[in-house]
Amino acid sequence: MPAGTSNDEQVVASNIDTVFICMSINNDFNLRRAERYLGIAWDSGAVPVIVLTKADLCDDLPQKPSELDAVACGVDVIVTSSRTADGCVPVQGYLGRGRTIAFIGSSGVGKSTLINSLIGQDVIPTREIRSDDKGRHTTTRRELFVIPGGGVVIDTPGMKELGIESADLAKTFADIDELSARCRFHDCTHADEPGCAVQKAINDGLLSAERLSSYMKLKKEARYEGLNSRQIETEKFSVMFAEVGGMKNARKFAKEKKKRGY
């Protein structure tokens, strides 16, 4: 979704095999952002790969990829750098004749620089990072490039805001889905119900409360995204009165109580 208040869907790319979710390993590294991108990537039908860029700027390099283990279930994580001659080698294994890869990520994470390295020349303008190690926004439109060794890549503008039109949360949060199946109640909200396997996992240190919060936030956002204010209110009421069979039954119940003088 585009940034701002518009509810128009923005197509980033289509007919792609792999989505490279690019995050610089310094200031842009954010597990919650990774979850958001993964949900959209899985929903697209393409296979997501997390690409950590600017490895040369990271002081605790071994630690960062391991932190993604908890949120990137079944997803390859590769580390790259534009400062060394072989810095883009990990990416080359995903390229090949007939394959199309889309690069997505925040502004200034190094997508264009990485593509230039794959092509072998500076065909995409890039800018030096700022004094605070943050990248500068350069790409302003989607462009397709043919890689000399085979394959096609798509460079996309950096995204300051990423809304959810639809997302495959079952794959992104496969661990929570698996735990949910063990809850005592099939409609468990993972809040304060007895026998909640998700809350037990949090108490046992097997799942972070932040990950559950992210899951609930994206689930709610995917439900409400694209609805107008009246539709959102209707959806909220439907959730509120789910235990009594929906809003219609709640209205019927209220009318009956009024007739009885309650």
pLDDT given at position 200: 96
Q: Say whether 60 sits in a helix, a strand or coil.
A: coil
Which domains are seen in the chain, by residue range? 18-155 (3.40.50.300), 169-259 (1.10.40.50)
- What is the DSSP track for 141-170? S-EEEE-TTS-EEEE----S----S---HH
pLDDT given at position 230: 62
pLDDT given at position 11: 45
Query: Which tokens is 34 given?
Result: 């990774």
Model confidence, pTM? 0.69
Question: Which of 96, 94, 89, 106 has its CA nearest to residue 156?
Answer: 106
Amino acid at 56: D
Measured on CA atoms in the order 11, 218, 19, 51, is the torsion positive or negative? Answer: positive
pLDDT given at position 21: 92
Cα–Cα distance, 45 to 100 (Å, whole number):
13
pLDDT given at position 226: 58
pLDDT given at position 166: 58
- Give me the tens of pLDDT residue by residue for the chain, a chain 262 residues long: 444 444 444 444 556 889 999 988 877 788 998 998 898 888 888 899 999 988 777 776 777 788 888 888 889 999 888 777 777 888 888 998 888 998 888 878 888 888 888 888 888 776 555 444 444 445 446 688 889 888 898 888 755 445 555 567 888 899 998 999 999 998 899 998 999 999 999 999 999 999 999 999 888 877 655 555 565 556 655 655 555 455 455 555 555 545 555 4
pLDDT given at position 210: 94
